[in-house]
Amino acid sequence: MSDKIRLVRNLILLGLPLLAMMLYFALKPMDYMSLEYPMWIEEKEFVTGRVDDRRDYDTLIIGDSRAKSSVLPAVLDESGNTYNMAIGGATPIEMYYALDRYLKAHEAPRSVFVIFAPYHFYDIDNYNQTLYFNYLDTGQILEVAREARGLYGEDKVAYKGWITDVISYKLRSPAKYLAAVYEALPAGKRAENTERYMQVRRDLGFTLFGTEESNNEPSYEVHEAEFKSSGVSSKYYERLLERLQAEGIAVTIEQAPLNPASYDNLRPEFLEGYTEYMDKIEKEHPEFTVVKEVPRYEAECFGDNNHLNRTGALKYTAMLKKRYF
Amino acid sequence: MVFNSVAYAIFFPIVAIIYLCLGTGAGNIWLLVSSYFFYMSADIRYGAILFGASLVTYISTNILEKTANNALLRKITAVMAVSIELLLLFFFKYFGFFNEMTGNYFEVSFLLPVGISFYVFQAVGYIIDVYRGDIRAEKNFVQAMLFTAFFPGILSGPISRAGELIPQFKVKHKFDYANVREGLVRMGWGLFMKLVIASRLSIVANLVYDNHTEANPVQLILGTFAYALQIYCDFASYSELAIGSAQCMGFKLRENFFQPFFATSSAELWRRWHMSLMSWFKDYLYIPLGGSRKGRLRKYVNILIVFTLSGLWHGAAWTYVLWGFLSGLFQVTGEILKKYRERIMELWPLKGRLAGLVHHGIKVFLTVFFFNVSLVFFRAKSISQAAEILKAVFTGFRFSDIAKTNVFELGLGYINLGILAFSLLILFAVDLARERGREPQKLLTGLSPALRWAAYYGMILMILLSTNIGAQRFIYFQF
């Protein structure tokens, strides 16, 4: 055997286990991914129509974790024609592409509720997770980087080394995923991830984040001196609204509740800035229903400092039902 | 582009395979283009500075070559060329430092190109070698430019000598299985040292130094010791990756580390630590200053000058200067005390192997101890922080603190601490083998195939499990 062939053979032998790992990471993500993952994959399968019970819905809920944990579709709409396609950790970026995917695979819904936490208009805190979960296609990721050029928040989506990160995630590089497998040892996470997936599917996209019976700790927004609306997130929010408008969908922009510690301690400049931003949205889209007031719910309605518990979700959904259904 | 990145994992095999397929001329052009691509991937502006430094070197060395009979012109050329190189270094690295000393008189700041301290020193060494007539100037433009830009060593060394590296560009390097295998193993070992060991140690060192006012003296000692090991593994790993990368393509770069923590004196430690830099200082500064030829006092002064400047080379801050000065001071003190130590040994000679071992162990301990003391200045953010840490350790240390200190509170959980302990054992075994003249790569290839492959897979697995832990950036990049 020549030396060159020997080297190639040895490199292949060295690489084979890596290749096997990469295949495993790509094919069995439910075995090792965190408990957030089933929610993301459930939503991706729902919007792309890759589910057994694929059908069109009259009403969709779009937003982040606050929307996900605040609206119970089965309670809001007893006919079962409402689906909560919000995702925990999502910003308008992910939701814009989710809507795009949904519209490509389904008839446009009659109405959509858009609910984002104010901090998601200025902070993209989880984009790396979006990449890690391989939620966006390569083309979409490149588009995000292009759209972000020169905007506030560009460093969060097109940070130093993002291209190699994207390649690593797309190829399911062991350097990125092996640690998760290691953490999932010895039993693996398939059982709990599957259970979470089934629960989200059963509850038409709804899921809880906080598990406490009561919480009165300040939310993210309390730490902000002022509201900054400019940036990648806002750009995608506006793209999302334009798309909804172009499709002729009835849009309702709602606000998720805050607990007393959060509501009472919000800086006036922050609240003022947020209201101004919502005023601007209302002016640009007069046909939308824009609710600007953030509800103040008692601590017993919160499962953690940012999210409602079941009691809170039932109360909020009942309020929406009364108002819109 | 850094060695521990996906980008390098794609870049390196492409460059190496194409280089090995090409002849000398095209191969060198390919290496030069690849080296500039490698260097400019961090910031495109870096390329202009590197090109400028290389061009000055090329022109000046060729003028020196052509004016062999005109001593004055040669001297002027050499002085001017070295001054230009050092001015480049001054402006880009030290301007801010000196500007700050003058109360920020100038309202400008300069970009700090990574690796500038390394390639400027390499270029200066080359100019001086040609000036002295030790080597001839390289007329081939590509080879001369490649000498300063050669990608394996451009960011953090080893600092090569023209007499060693340029002749290698003239040889057609063919694929050599043993070279490639050994090079890859060295690269693997480098990644292991960096990602598995140094990154975990960085967590301990950072936690202690970032919270030094709350840490007890034992934690401060552990944090400093962790930093000493971290910086060794960090920098030695870079050298392993550089040497291994070059070796795969058939090049031999200078060794940079030789088990520094097995040294029995400060002088010996510095002969084993960052060897390419220390030998540069010896050849181009210490010996021209008179070395040890002009009396004992002058020798000590020369040592202090060399080490203080070596501190300044590491960074434009007083902490580095003081670290360098202290390193020199410990070496001078060791030299002064040497005759007394020898006298004591004559009066009370050690008998038996155990006594010899204990004596050896004490010498190693003291060497490492003083190295750690100086390193506090290297790691600290300011002289006052270093002083606070040293004061806390030397005045506040109680043996009872040892029992009170929980190693699991130093930022690493049980598993990571276990991995670290196991990895340090491997490091010790490898260094011990090297110390005894055995090359670990050769020991590895001597194992049965099953064991050898198990070692390879084990190493890869541990590296992959460590890619998101602690500090991933190489410390010496900032120098």
φ, ψ for residue B174, nearest 5 deg: -105, 165
Residues constituting chain B: 479
pLDDT for the residue numbered B474:
65
Cα separation of B219 and B398, whole Å?
12
Query: Chain A closest CA to B156's CA: distance in Å?
Result: 20
CB-based contact A13 B181, cutoff 8 Å: no
DSSP type of residue A220 = G
Mean pLDDT is lowest, of A32-41, B210-219, B278-287, for: B210-219
Task: Give the C-alpha distances (Å, rounded to integers) separating B330 from B227, B279, B364.
Answer: 19, 19, 14
Query: Chain A closest CA to B463's CA: distance in Å?
Result: 8
Place of tokens 């290839």: B445
pLDDT for the residue numbered A266:
93
Handedness of CA A175, A177, A182, A186 (dihedral sign): negative
Residue type, A165: D
Average pLDDT of the segment spanning A199-223 = 94
CB-based contact B175 A174, cutoff 8 Å: no
Q: Which residues of chain A does B453 touch, with a Cβ-Cβ cutoff of 8 Å?
A: 13
CB-based contact B6 A168, cutoff 8 Å: yes
User: What is the percentage of chain B residues whose pLDDT exceeds 90?
Assistant: 68
Confidence of residue B471 (pLDDT cuts 50, 70, 90): low
Given a cut of 90, is residue A215 above it in pLDDT? yes
pLDDT greater at residue B402 or residue B27: B27
Place of tokens 């095999």: B13
Place of tokens 């004196």: B265
pLDDT for the residue numbered B475:
66
pLDDT for the residue numbered B151:
96
The two tokens of residue A265 are 């301690």
pLDDT for the residue numbered B445:
79
pLDDT for the residue numbered B473:
63
pLDDT for the residue numbered A241:
97
At B256 the three-state DSSP class reads coil
CB-based contact B456 A7, cutoff 8 Å: no
Given a cut of 90, is residue B443 above it in pLDDT? no
Given a cut of 90, is residue B286 above it in pLDDT? yes
Task: Give the C-alpha distances (Å, rounded to integers) separating B460 from B186, B193, B445.
Answer: 13, 12, 17
Place of tokens 């079941």: A310
A168 interfacial to chain B (CB closer than 8 Å) = yes
User: What is the percentage of chain B residues whose pLDDT exceeds 70?
Assistant: 97
Q: Write down the ipTM of this complex.
A: 0.71
Question: What is chain A's percent helix, strand, coil content, to nearest 5?
Answer: 55, 5, 40
pLDDT for the residue numbered A182:
86
At A284 the three-state DSSP class reads helix
Neighbours of A324 (CB within 10 A): 15
At A50 the three-state DSSP class reads coil
Confidence of residue B398 (pLDDT cuts 50, 70, 90): confident
Mean pLDDT is lowest, of A41-45, B216-220, B269-273, B347-351, for: B347-351
pLDDT for the residue numbered B179:
92
Mean pLDDT is lowest, of A108-117, A163-172, B143-152, B392-401, for: B392-401
Mean pLDDT is lowest, of B98-102, B107-111, B320-324, for: B107-111
Given a cut of 60, is residue B472 above it in pLDDT? no
Q: Where are the domains of chain B?
A: 6-174, 179-257+380-478
Given a cut of 80, is residue B469 above it in pLDDT? no
Average pLDDT over chain A reads 94
Place of tokens 């600092």: B159
By the 8 A CB rule, do A72 and A313 touch? Answer: yes
Q: Which of B5, B6, B465 sits opposite A182 (nearest CB)?
A: B465
Confidence of residue A42 (pLDDT cuts 50, 70, 90): very high
Q: Which residues of chain A does B460 touch, with a Cβ-Cβ cutoff of 8 Å?
A: 14, 17-18
Cα separation of A292 and A294, whole Å?
6
**Contact residues for B70 (Cβ-Cβ < 8 A; gap 6+):** none
Confidence of residue B101 (pLDDT cuts 50, 70, 90): confident
Given a cut of 80, is residue B460 above it in pLDDT? yes
Query: Chain A closest CA to B144's CA: distance in Å?
Result: 31
By the 8 A CB rule, do B215 and B410 touch? Answer: no
CB-based contact B177 A164, cutoff 8 Å: no
pLDDT for the residue numbered B479:
58
pLDDT for the residue numbered B478:
59
CB-based contact A167 B460, cutoff 8 Å: no
Confidence of residue B476 (pLDDT cuts 50, 70, 90): low
pLDDT greater at residue B186 or residue B157: B186
Task: Give the C-alpha distances (Å, rounded to integers) separating B245 from B12, B175, B180, B234, B251.
Answer: 8, 13, 9, 17, 9
